Chain A
Amino acid sequence: MRADGGLRGWLSAPTTALGKLAWVLVIAVAAALSLAVMFLLLSAGLNLFDSLQMQARAGR
């Protein structure tokens, strides 16, 4: 916690071990969620591409 205290001070520069650990965990959770969403979108896109390709083949 910075000497000036408050949420803003804490967010700008974590100086205690607990503050740093909290930052690392929050970033890790955010990165994990972002990766999960990215993989889900990628998977949905690939599935859509496959089904469109199958429809095109069936229509031929």
Chain B
Amino acid sequence: MLTSIQQQIGLAVFAAVLIAAFAVGRRDERLGAAIVTVSALATMVHPYWEPWLDLRLGGLAIDGLTLAALAWLVAVSKLRWPLFATAFVLLLVLLHLVALASPPALRITYLDASVALSYGALAALAVGTWAAWRSRRLA
């Protein structure tokens, strides 16, 4: 776990965005950060359940629940960034479904695309947090 420099940089970026969202975000950014935090922690922990839970099914369950939570946020929010975060997680769930039906040869692409989509959802949260910080500064 976190053995490569890429993983360590990724964790630092995730932590920075989440801390900023909790610190300077509005209610919606904080809710989004809470959803992403729970999802990221579950994603980090779930490989340890592997003897009892298939890795891909676990990933699908976590991202499916994340999608449901973000869809709820989209329904109650008037902001635009949750739409982007939800779109990226929707693609992530579709990717899990495709991976369940695809041969293991696609595994590397699946992992690369999963990471790219996770960063997409995180970028949406980061933009929302930046907008909240800017509007507070201008107010």
Residues on A facing B (Cβ under 8 Å) = 13-15, 17, 20, 23-25, 27-28, 31-32, 35, 38-39
A20 to B76, CA, bound (A): 11
Q: Which residue of B lies closest to A17 (CB)?
A: B75
Q: Which residues of B contact A24 (CB under 8 A)?
A: 74, 83, 86-87, 90
Asked if B91 and A20 sit within 8 Å, CB to CB, the answer is no
Asked if A20 and B83 sit within 8 Å, CB to CB, the answer is yes
**Of B75, B87, B116, the contact of A28 (CB 8 Å cutoff):** B87
A27 to B83, CA, bound (A): 8
Give A36 Cβ to nearest chain B Cβ, in Å.
9
Interface size class of B (residues with CB under 8 A): 10 to 19
Asked if A13 and B113 sit within 8 Å, CB to CB, the answer is no
A23 to B80, CA, bound (A): 9
B137 at interface (Cβ–Cβ under 8 A)?
A: no
Q: Which residues of B contact A35 (CB under 8 A)?
A: 91, 113, 116-117
A57 to B53, CA, bound (A): 47
Q: A24-B83, A24-B90, A27-B88 are in contact. List 15 more A-B contacts (CB 8 A).
A: A13-B78, A13-B80, A14-B83, A15-B78, A20-B74, A20-B83, A23-B80, A24-B74, A27-B87, A28-B87, A28-B90, A31-B91, A35-B113, A39-B109, A39-B112
Q: Which residues of A contact B88 (CB under 8 A)?
A: 27-28, 31
A23 to B86, CA, bound (A): 10
Give B108 Cβ to nearest chain A Cβ, in Å.
11
